[in-house]
Copies of this chain bind each other. A is one copy, B any other.
Amino acid sequence: MADYKAPLRDMQFTWFELFNYEQHLQSLPKYADTSKDIVEAILEENAKFAENVLAPLNQSGDAEGCTWSESGVTTPTGFKEAYQQFVEAGWPSLSCEEAYGGQALPESLGLTLSEMVGTANWSWGMYPGLSHGAKNTIEEHGSEDQKQTFLTKLVSGEWTGTMCLTESHCGTDLGMLRTKAEPNADGSYNISGTKIFISAGEHDMADNIVHIVLARLPEAPMGTKGISLFIVPKFNVATDGSVADRNAVSCGSLEHKMGIHGNATCVMNFDGAKGFLIGEENRGLNCMFTFMNTARLGTALQGVAHAELGFQKSLDYARDRLQMRALSGPKNPEGPADPIIVHPDVRRMLLTQKAFAEGGRMMVSYCGKIVDVINGGDDAAAKEADQQLAFLTPIAKAFLTEVGFESANLGMQCFGGHGFISEWGAEQNVRDCRISMLYEGTTGIQALDLLGRKVLGSQGEAMKPFTKEVHKFCQANEGQPMATALAAANKRWGELTMDIGMKAMNNAEEVGAASVDYLMFSGYVTLGYFWALAANKAQEAIDAGKGDLEFYQAKVQTAEFYFARILPRIETLATTMTSGADNLLAMDADHFAF
């Protein structure tokens, strides 16, 4: 059994058949010469790297974990060598600007590559993944000098990056942060404070680490309006751009945690470390928000990754494992028992994973196209796209990680008792997945962002471009069962939004009381749209006798499964989200337990 097989056929379907990737790229000045051939060659090459280099290190990396010592952090055996190969192949520079050594390929393609890397080995993928945030920040807000010094090295992959936000007393509530930045005479700053949960904060895979750090200047205003953003390198950089002496930043310890053991989650101590201001003073949080959507899409991918990996593992097992007979009589009469894939409930678990993995891939790819439009060189289109992305991102992040975790658990469940045993990798997949609902803003935070900030904050305007697109599709396919169900769900979505909006005018707490159910409802409808689209495309191909019949039939069948067994979850959610805040707020905080 292979550790991981990249779902290239499905990726091709999603990009080229469903989302007209060629036309999409040709329509954007920046990506117009990225041909189908180029994309396919890149996908295939990356698949090989993910399958052959990264996947074999996934279980061993979990078992071995990272090791802390005074002199630094050692990553699991093979991680460093894999990173060297990754850099040599030029993967880090793929979607970066050419001016700084990048290949200027579309971000959408980068997301698909990240899916393969992350599914093969999520812990490993976080090392280059974290660089992404640092790159984006410097690219967007850094000075030309900072770009030449730091960005070029991040783009080449010689150095990696981190994002240092969280402190022990504040994660969500960054306004409370205490790390200090004191100005030096030479224009640099001395950074002092302790950051926690810093992924890839210290390791042995690259020559230098570029920390992007949130800190307060002396006399800065209280709260989020007094936060500035700094570059703090692990090693100071000489004027010729080479690595010089060690800066006063170090990893104090590694966190013991549930999963992603191959990634170093560091407590980082800044003891008057030399740093450089990015952007304006006290505007640090705004700088961060500009790339937050992309970072959250990266986490949405984690839901897809663990759904896909769990699906692959449990599908192999369900085809091989012989246990009991089908209720309607033996399907493998010569064998001692039937393979468990004959049992309807095992199929329910497999199809749920498949629907979320392939559906999530559609959702992230759709968002990826929007990112391309934002970066693609057409400013008017970019502005509109930016709003669309702002609306879809919290849905993609929270919904896909929630259903990704459900999928990972169902994958494990298919193994019966063997699922609990480390050997099969199914339990690691659950442990690794669990963080995705927590970091980059918990599900609860995404839900407040969606319902409070985006939807109600815009009087519902933010959702309209998407719900109109769904509405158009339903109209164009009137009478089709899926379109009918989708149209009803889409309509209900709007009504529920109105309903909660009205309630919230009397009591702001109604937003928080409805938000997570609202987000999940939004997710199921959104995914329903993509599955209906996919079923249509697949049916067209079948009708046109395009070949690959089995693939297209499976698409239609998965869509039918989704509409019959998954989309109806919105019924309950519609009820619970409108049940009001009272049933949550009535109880005195002191009376929850006696």
> Which one, B255, B405, B572, B583, contacts A569 given CB within 8 A?
B572
- Of A27-35, A420-428, A491-499, the segment with at least 4 beta carbons within 8 Å of chain B is A420-428
Name the 3 nearest CB pairs between A and B, nearest first: A344-B512, A258-B427, A344-B513
Say yes or no: A328 contacts B508, CB within 8 Å.
yes
**Contacting residues, chain B, for A579 (C-beta < 8 A):** 564-565, 568
Say yes or no: A417 contacts B166, CB within 8 Å.
yes
Overall SS of chain A's interface = helix
Closest chain B residue, CB of each to CB of A435: B420
Say yes or no: A438 contacts B421, CB within 8 Å.
no
CA distance A208 to B558 in the complex (A): 54
**Contacting residues, chain B, for A423 (C-beta < 8 A):** 256
Say yes or no: A588 contacts B550, CB within 8 Å.
yes
Q: Any chain B CB within 8 A of the CB of A269?
A: no
Counted per complex, copies of this chain come to 2
CA distance A336 to B416 in the complex (A): 48
Q: Any chain B CB within 8 A of the CB of A278?
A: no
**Contacting residues, chain B, for A565 (C-beta < 8 A):** 576, 579, 583-584
Given contacts A7-B593, A345-B447, A354-B592, 16 further A-B contacts (CB under 8 A): A197-B417, A257-B420, A257-B422, A258-B430, A312-B593, A343-B512, A344-B581, A344-B584, A345-B512, A347-B585, A348-B516, A430-B434, A550-B594, A557-B587, A565-B576, A568-B579
Q: Any chain B CB within 8 A of the CB of A238?
A: no
Q: Any chain B CB within 8 A of the CB of A289?
A: no
**Contacting residues, chain B, for A508 (C-beta < 8 A):** 327-328
Say yes or no: A434 contacts B420, CB within 8 Å.
yes
CA distance A564 to B422 in the complex (A): 39
CA distance A176 to B576 in the complex (A): 46
Q: Any chain B CB within 8 A of the CB of A94?
A: no
Q: Any chain B CB within 8 A of the CB of A173?
A: yes
Contact flags (1/0) for A558-594 with B, using CB distance below 8 Å? 1011001100111110011001110111111111111
Minimal beta-carbon separation of A521 from chain B (angstroms): 12
Q: Any chain B CB within 8 A of the CB of A482?
A: no
Given A171-B323, A421-B256, are A343 and B593 also a contact pair (CB < 8 Å)? no
Q: Any chain B CB within 8 A of the CB of A172?
A: yes
Closest chain B residue, CB of each to CB of A324: B173
> Which one, B171, B173, B258, B588, contacts A422 given CB within 8 A?
B258
Most buried by B among A350, A443, A583: A583
A472-507 interface with B by 8 A CB criterion? 507
CA distance A420 to B265 in the complex (A): 11
**Contacting residues, chain B, for A166 (C-beta < 8 A):** 417
Closest chain B residue, CB of each to CB of A354: B592
> Can you list 23 pairs linking A and B with CB atoms under 8 Å apart?
A7-B594, A169-B322, A171-B416, A173-B323, A256-B422, A258-B427, A315-B592, A315-B593, A328-B508, A344-B513, A345-B448, A347-B585, A351-B587, A405-B409, A409-B434, A413-B437, A420-B435, A554-B591, A558-B587, A560-B583, A560-B586, A564-B579, A569-B572
Say yes or no: A350 contacts B592, CB within 8 Å.
yes
> Which one, B420, B575, B580, contacts A568 given CB within 8 A?
B575
Say yes or no: B420 contacts A258, CB within 8 Å.
yes
CA distance A354 to B589 in the complex (A): 13
Say yes or no: A554 contacts B587, CB within 8 Å.
yes
Say yes or no: B337 contacts A176, CB within 8 Å.
yes
Q: Any chain B CB within 8 A of the CB of A82?
A: no
**Contacting residues, chain B, for A327 (C-beta < 8 A):** 452, 508-509, 511-512
Given A344-B513, A516-B348, A571-B572, are A551 and B594 also a contact pair (CB < 8 Å)? yes
> Which one, B258, B421, B442, B585, contacts A413 given CB within 8 A?
B442
Q: Any chain B CB within 8 A of the CB of A89?
A: no
**Contacting residues, chain B, for A593 (C-beta < 8 A):** 7, 311-312, 315, 354
**Contacting residues, chain B, for A507 (C-beta < 8 A):** 328
Minimal beta-carbon separation of A508 from chain B (angstroms): 4
Q: Any chain B CB within 8 A of the CB of A41?
A: no
> Which one, B344, B580, B589, B594, contacts A9 given CB within 8 A?
B594
Given A427-B258, A507-B328, A516-B348, are A420 and B444 also a contact pair (CB < 8 Å)? no
**Contacting residues, chain B, for A448 (C-beta < 8 A):** 345
CA distance A228 to B420 in the complex (A): 28
**Contacting residues, chain B, for A417 (C-beta < 8 A):** 166, 171, 197, 435, 438-439
Q: Any chain B CB within 8 A of the CB of A125?
A: no
**Contacting residues, chain B, for A354 (C-beta < 8 A):** 592-593
CA distance A470 to B487 in the complex (A): 38
Q: Any chain B CB within 8 A of the CB of A361?
A: no
Say yes or no: B583 contacts A564, CB within 8 Å.
yes
A180-221 interface with B by 8 A CB criterion? 197
**Contacting residues, chain B, for A360 (C-beta < 8 A):** none
